[in-house]
Structure formats: structure tokens, C-alpha cells
Structure 1
């Protein structure tokens, strides 16, 4: 945050008659990843993490981030006049109540917030007689002179050979749920739900293959879809067919609701911004506020999607193994002049993935952390931060790829040479937690928060923990972070169901020294042994660092799982990697 930008923003807030303002890291679609045109938080503060919020209140300013970004935020905000706080509704509310006065107004952009997201804050501010005031225009947009254009790249059909179900069949299936709700239409607020329902993909958001769009689905299975005119092609029109009307102005969606004489619309308040709800309410429509049914439907992958994910993970695993096999050679070759570092490692891994069929993009910015940078949970390497790598210490690489048949996300922690002995204990405890989730069998109806402790027990036994979730949902050639399923301490009340893909990624981070994380993607399947029970199957295929394992800490069952997993990795990937990597793979998966 430059003092000039902060001063100019305060002047603009004064002009709009408010004493405070909220700057979330988000866009009007509530996307986790946003296009450059929506990076207002980074413009103001310099913080580039995927979750955060800045708040201004009179002469004070604060940045709120969660545990994943504590160290990153400290580095990126430096000595700016910005207090760093914990990202939670209670912490945000308390800070604003402390720094705003009775009678003040807190401004916000209603396109960037949801009503549930503001509920606690609104209540707390009202108790202090402080107004929460929606603004007609975002003051940052007024000041951001070189703001990038809003993207509108071409939307493209996503073939049924990858989707496993036609858009027509999906629309009919979801439309049947509207009858149960006695709803005339469903509002599709988010590009991901549109991408799944209409079997379309795009490139408007880095690493997320979607086109910026929203839609209305009607009870007969027809729909009206908003897409920028520049995003529409003849191939797309042919793919959508006559049952899907295309409009190129969001206002046309509201106009279509009037023309259709809609009375009751199903809206997900978690995905729909405040501004849209204002527009719908102004039309005197009855809103059925409930979770979007598409979010759950796309989380349950069909047989074609699961088969595609397996195939994508095989190709991705082969690319990762070739990278890991070449990494020591690259480090040794460049060690004399420090010319190979975290950034060059990312470039090498990207090059390996680009050689694999179907690769379109990374699924997120790779986390490439050597030594102390590995302890920054969501560290993003840059030319300024990239540490040269040596044949010693510990390296963490968290990365993934986007393929038409699947989305990958994998973390491996490797020893590059000598390392602190305590790291072996930490690594093995993380591995025990990983195996505990991988081998868990649980009754149908179990939620992710009910199994999270299995991943942490070995760490808890030693008085250790990690400040992030254990698992997040993953899409099918969609977001690498997909809801509603997750594994973590936070209550979701979302049962894990067959077909859901999640990550399994316990970790441990010793600030200033190293980070450890072991991540596989897994999917939920029905247990073959016990009716009414579910279990996991691993999708990710890559060796787990044997040199960091303390065999004495593993039970016979845990050791059996590890050796079986390594046999599967070896047998599957050996035919897919080059000759040099084959020798490395044999050694990396040798029985312990």
C-alpha cells in the first residue's frame, strides 16, 4: 500500500460520504481465483494471496489473512501503515467496531460481497449505531488508472467424452429439482456452475478454465446464459442449441425474468452477490434462498469423469517424476554460480507437464519452497524471493495441472541432501496422518470435519499442528478448490459422498527452517467390504520421500500401505517415463 494510494482512497471515501471501506480479494462471481482486473486487494496492499480482506476505518487500516498467509503477508506488506489481523468474521467485526465511531458509515461494493458474508458484521455494527452502506461505484476503480480490461475470451464446448453427460441431460436433471422447490427458475451466479451445467470452458481466469458468465435455468430445462459478445462463437452456439438463449448484457437476464413472468427464483445466497439480490428483490420476485443444487451435483463425479481423472493423474505423475529425477542434477550443475533456484524449479516442472498430452495450464501457481520458504504455507516464488537451491536441506513443491480429462494437485517434500534430524520425526508424523486418511473407512453421512482429527493425531501426540485444512474438493477440469466438500476443523455439515474428489494434505511448518506437506488427491467410493460405508482411493501417483521416513514410527499396517502404494506408482508410471527416470523411480519406490 503506497501512502499516495491510501491517501487518495480516503479522499474518495470522504467524497462518497463514508468513513470506512472493505476491500475483499474477490470478484462479482465470488471466485477464489480472479482475473487481473479484479485484483483490488493486491493493488492497494501488495498482498497477492488467494484469501484476504483489507479494511479502512477513519485513520486506521488493516489486512486480514488466514493462517496459510501469515508469513507471506508480513513479507509483502513490509513497513506499510497496515495492521495485520486474523481473517475471521469476529476479528473483522471487532477491529471495525474499535476504529469506527457511532454514526459512521462503512462503505462496501455490493457486487463483491454476499449477504451471509456480511451478516455478523452488519449485526455488530448496528449494535454500535454504525451503518453498513452499499456504494454505487467502487472507489478503487476510480483511482486505478491502469486497471486491466475485464477478460472476455472465447467460451468453448467441453466434449461429452470428458463430461460424461450432455448439457441437455444435466439441465433436465437439475430442472426436476425446481419442481420440488416450486421454483420457476434457478439463478446460476457463478461461472463454475455454468461451466458444469452447459458443458463449456474458457480462459478468463488464470488457472481456472471458465468463461465469466451467469444464467437462469427454467423448469422446462431451457435457459438464458449471459456471456460477453466476444466470448461467443458459432461452435458454441451450435453446442448450446436452441434451448439456451444467449445474451450479452447482464441486464438482459433480469429483463428475461420479467418476460418469462417468473414469480419464484431459487438463489444460492453464498454464491450470489448483494447487488444481484437487490436487483431481483426490486422486481418483487419471491426468492428461495438455498444452496445451489449444481454445486453438489458437480462435486459427485460420474464414472467418465473419474476415469478421466485417473488418466490425467497418470500423465501428471509421470511429468512430476521426471522433474524430481532431474532436480538433483540441475541443482548440482548450477551450484557453483547459484543459477538454479525455486523459480527455475517451477519452470522445469512446467516444461515437463507441457510435454504431456492435453496439458492446458497449471491448476494454480506452484508453491516452490526451499528451506525457510517452504515454511510459508502458500508461498509464491518470485524473481525477488527465489532462493538458490543446494544439495542439502528440504524442498517442498506443491503444484498441479489442468487437463481436459482432469485437474491435478500434488505436494511432495524431498530431501536434497543432509537435513536436520528432527525433520525425519516431523515428516513421519505427517505421513502417518496422510495414511490415516488414505486408509479410513467411515459410515455414509460422515462429514469432513468428523475425520479431520485422524490426520492430526500423530502431530498432536507431539504437541504439533498445522494451520490449514486437511483436504479440499477438486473439480473436473475446473477449480482446484471446489466445494462443498472439504476435510478440516471448520464445520461444513456436508456429508462426503461417492464420487467426490478431495485432497489429503496434512503438513507441518517450522518457521525459518522448512515446510513439510504430503498431498495426494483421493476420491470417495463405496466400500466393497461393508455395506453403508465409504472409503478413499488415491488418484495421485508419485513417490513419497523415503529418506525422510523414520521407519520405527510406522506401524506394520502403515508400512504395508506405503509399500503397496509405491508398488502401484512404480508399476503404473514406469512405462510412461524416460529411461533416466525409470532408474530413479525404481529406487524411489523400493520397499522399506
Structure 2
């Protein structure tokens, strides 16, 4: 990771007849979190955010990030020869067209890109006379001398007490959808769909409890599943049964497709990389390019998964309360900072039954670092904390019965009235989503403005979505549902879990975000309507609330929520935390 590495890559371009090369932050499975072996963008540029792309050309180079990561990227790329640009297809395409010349060729690794992802770029480059060319190997890998090995840990059965449906039933259910589409098979392009379909989990990816895998489900309910040899045990074979053929080479998936004489295969182009689609086309297979039905199936949790999520949130809430209770005293010390806060919270979660990992790298931001939306603390960046200012902690846990994600913003000392105003406007948006009743068929983009209304009234906004889907002991960021400005055309359905996380960020001063996970369910006494049940249980900092900005109903929601938090968690926390929890959940009187 240095200017020398970028220069070396530029020198390598000529040897391959290229004038540029793209380096996205992803792996061949399109995972959000990737193994260390696939952190090419971080190795080359120093940028460690979860979304980004670098374009290295012989005439200049750029790093593209979205609004969440602008400040972080500025800090991390430092003096490297990289322009910092906006991560959007038009901006990427315009920069490349301005930098490259007509007749130039831009290379890309087809295993790391999808056809829909490249389509806008390809169209614009063609207009500029620039060719987009797949490479046989990733050019970065030839420079990355000490690149880690691809993980191949054990895959393990995920029991029925957590899944609520056995794998045979899932295979048959999805197979019916395959047959209804007149397809021979459904391609299973990534570990998440395989984990859900076969009821297996693993530890190959940080924060995502899956084993690296891909496969094919056939219209008769049988399947072929790729796993590394080290991932397979007799217990796993018994769990999967005779109808699931296990292979230990990815090439054997394509051999199975030939052997079964597949003519038509359904595959999700947003999940399946370009290389795989071309390999299937080379077998003269006709592809149905539509959203994977498993994506929608796993988004709607069954009753067992929902009860598991409620239970996991209770345990997680108790851990978070113990952390928050100790924080005021901890920040009085001289050696307590953002990094130590992450370690303290992790230790609290580790004491709770079933905890296996954080569901993502905790965002621990004090003062100005809290304004960096997806800031990730490092030993070098960690600010020492004191009993003053505002602190934001966004964190979550992975438990076999559920995945959590919660953000709390806390005052460590007296705060200015402006901060209380900002916090309360964010809270009003949070309550607007939490209390909403909406017709069946409503999409997330149709309700997003409700979370922003109080901020918009003051000429303020935030540069991230309001909510994302969450898996069941799977990804903390799970589609297809979301709440945000961008159109998804995905209706919210009963059984979907989504985050509710409006925020506001004052650069250099503080970040504010209030996040709970909420469950869409049938609205009581309102046929044809849905409403939300709040799953997350943890106090919202009363010190930051300006009661005069809240309506009676909003104040009632906050007091009722705090009563539920208090009654549920008091029996589960340690003695010092009980006194803190009692105080943190006291009702706020109308003024």
C-alpha cells in the first residue's frame, strides 16, 4: 500500500495492452464484507471503507467513494496520487472519459463485476471510443506479494430451532418457483443464498457467518453445492442428504451443468459476476436474468426466526446497557478512547449467550469523528474521550438466533442547544417511521421523506439511506428491501426486518444517529395495512432531547419505549447498570 504500488500498477498496464484498470472493493461473490485476500482496494490505496472503486490509468488515477466515506477517504489516501471523486456511475464514467483517450482500453477483472454494474459505464465509454476489456487475471494480485490465502473453514449445519424450516423444504419450495419459470435450474452465486437454502453457516468472512460457497438448485429440488474440501465433514454430508451433490472445485459446477444437459438457467445478474455468466453462456445455456427468488424468500422471516430475533435483541440490549452505564466513568480516565470503547462493548457482548462476532466493524466516533458517517476507528485515529462532547456508537452482534444493529448517540457532558435541536429533529424522524401505518404494497422510498421531514424543516439532511434490511444470522445489510431516496420498487412485506436510522452530521463537531431495528407486520385493526414493531431495546439519551420540539404523541412514544426497555432489561443487567437504567428511562414530562 503505497504510491510505489500505484506506480507499479501503472507500469504493468502497458504490458497488457491497457491504459487503465478498475479495482472495486468486493470479491467474486459480490459480498459486502470480504476476506482479507480480496481487500485489493485497501491494499492499493489505504482506503478501508466498505464501498469504493479505484481507477488506475496511465494518465492519472482516482478513488471513488460515496457520501458516507468522503472524510474517511480524505484522511486515508493522504498524499497518494489519487483524485477523490464521487462513487456514482455517471461520475465514474465522466472521469474516465475525461482522463482516457479515444482508442484506449480499460481493463477489469470479470470475477469482481456484474453486468448491470458495468452497463452504464460500458455505454458511456463506448460513446467516447474507449473499450472495456476483461482480463484473465487480476493485475493487482501479481503485485501483492504477501496476499493472504483465501479462507476455507468448516461449514456447519444451522439447526431447525433457529431456521424454522428444514433445508429439504426450502429446496422444494424454491424448486417449484424454478419450474414455474420453465427453468432447469437456479444458479446460486454467493454464500448468503447458499447459507439460507441449505441451512449452513461458517466463518470464512468477517462479520458474515457463512462458508464460501456457490452452487445450482435444479427444478426437481436436487442441487450441486461447491465448498472447499476443508469445509466438508461427515456431519455436513449427513445434514445435506443424498439429494445435494458436493463438489470441491468450482469448475465441477459447470461440469454438472453439462452432465445434466441444462438448457435454461435462472440467475440473478446483480449477484452473479460477469465471468460466471460468460462461462454459462459458453455452455450454450439460455439465461433468465431476474432477481434471485431466495433473496425475497429469506427477507421475510418466519415465526421461529422472528422470535429468535426478539430474543437476540434482548440479550444484545442488556450488553449495550452495561456498556452505556460504564461509559461516563470510563471517559474520566486518561487512557480511554474510541478504540477502548469498542473493546469494552465487545467484552459486554461476549458475555451474552450465543454471541459469535460483531455484525460489522463498530463505528465509534467522538466529536468530529462521529461526523464521518461510516468511520472505522484505528489505533492511529482513535481520539481520547473526556466527560464532554458527543459520542456516537453504531454496532451490532451476530447470534445464532438473530443479527442486531443499533446506534446510540450520547452526551458525555453539557451540550449546546444547537446539538439538542439537531438530535431532537433526528428523533422526530425516527419516531415518524416507528409509528407509521402504511398500505400493503408500499415501498421504502415512499416513506423515506417522513424520516427527514423535521430536518428538512430546518434546511438539514443526511447523505445515507434511512433503513436497510437485516438477515437472520446472516448479513447485517440484506436486500431487497430498504428505506431511502433511491427507487427500489420493492414493497415492504410482513416479516421483513429493516433498520430505522435517520441522522445528522456537523463536520468537525459531532455526528447524530438513532438506529433501531424494526419489523414489518400486519397492522392491528387496519386490514390491508402494515405497521412496525421495534425490536431494539436500549435507552435513547434523554440529555439530548429538547421536549419542546416533540409533540404529545412523540413524547408518549419515547416514554412508552423507555418503559418497555426498563421492564425488559432490568432483570438481565448487572447491579450497577440497574440504577443507571432506571434513571436513563425516566419519563420526560411535557413542557
- With the length of structure 2 as denominator, give the TM-score of the two structures: 0.99
Q: How far 1:79 moved relative to its partner?
A: 1.7
* Residue of structure 2 equivalent to 1:231: 231
Q: How far 1:6 moved relative to its partner?
A: 1.1
* Residue of structure 1 equivalent to 2:470: 474
* Residue of structure 1 equivalent to 2:481: 485
* Residue of structure 2 equivalent to 1:530: 526
Q: How far 1:58 moved relative to its partner?
A: 2.3
1:111 equivalent to 2:111? Answer yes
* Residue of structure 2 equivalent to 1:101: 101
- Structure 1: runs of 5+ lacking an equivalent: none
Q: How far 1:221 moved relative to its partner?
A: 0.6
- Structure 2: runs of 5+ lacking an equivalent: none
Secondary structure of the corresponding residue to residue 111 of structure 1: helix
| Alpha-carbon distance in 2 for matches of 1:178, 1:421 | 58
* Residue of structure 1 equivalent to 2:53: 53
Is contact 1:486–1:502 with CA below 8 Å preserved after alignment?
yes
1:496 equivalent to 2:492? Answer yes
| Alpha-carbon distance in 2 for matches of 1:494, 1:12 | 43
| Alpha-carbon distance in 2 for matches of 1:139, 1:56 | 11
Q: 1:434 aligns with which of 420, 430, 433?
A: 430
Cα deviations by residue, 1:244-273 (Å, 9 ceiling, x for unpaired)? 010000000000001111110001100000
Secondary structure of the corresponding residue to residue 391 of structure 1: coil
Is contact 2:19–2:104 with CA below 8 Å preserved after alignment?
yes
Cα deviations by residue, 1:324-375 (Å, 9 ceiling, x for unpaired)? 001111122x1xxx20111111110000000000000000010011111100
Is contact 2:6–2:56 with CA below 8 Å preserved after alignment?
no
Q: How does 1:37-52 map to 2 (within 5 A)?
A: 37-52=37-52
Q: How does 1:16-165 map to 2 (within 5 A)?
A: 16-165=16-165
* Residue of structure 1 equivalent to 2:561: 565
1:370 equivalent to 2:366? Answer yes
| Alpha-carbon distance in 2 for matches of 1:417, 1:126 | 57
Cα deviations by residue, 1:125-172 (Å, 9 ceiling, x for unpaired)? 111111100000101001100000000000000001000000000000
Is contact 1:22–1:54 with CA below 8 Å preserved after alignment?
yes
Q: How far 1:57 moved relative to its partner?
A: 2.5
Q: How does 1:166-315 map to 2 (within 5 A)?
A: 166-315=166-315
| Alpha-carbon distance in 2 for matches of 1:588, 1:523 | 25
| Alpha-carbon distance in 1 for matches of 2:336, 2:358 | 21
1:356 equivalent to 2:352? Answer yes
| Alpha-carbon distance in 2 for matches of 1:12, 1:217 | 41
Is contact 1:405–1:476 with CA below 8 Å preserved after alignment?
yes
| Alpha-carbon distance in 2 for matches of 1:3, 1:147 | 18
Is contact 2:9–2:56 with CA below 8 Å preserved after alignment?
no
Cα deviations by residue, 1:71-96 (Å, 9 ceiling, x for unpaired)? 00000011211000110001000000
1:385 equivalent to 2:381? Answer yes
Q: How far 1:283 moved relative to its partner?
A: 0.5
| Alpha-carbon distance in 2 for matches of 1:397, 1:535 | 27
| Alpha-carbon distance in 2 for matches of 1:288, 1:3 | 44
| Alpha-carbon distance in 1 for matches of 2:432, 2:329 | 34
Cα deviations by residue, 1:264-303 (Å, 9 ceiling, x for unpaired)? 0001100000000110000001111100000000000000
| Alpha-carbon distance in 1 for matches of 2:510, 2:6 | 35
| Alpha-carbon distance in 1 for matches of 2:328, 2:578 | 15
| Alpha-carbon distance in 2 for matches of 1:322, 1:112 | 41
- With the length of structure 1 as denominator, give the TM-score of the two structures: 0.99
After TM superposition, which residue ranges in structure 1, 4 or more long, deviate above 3 angstroms?
none
| Alpha-carbon distance in 2 for matches of 1:508, 1:126 | 40
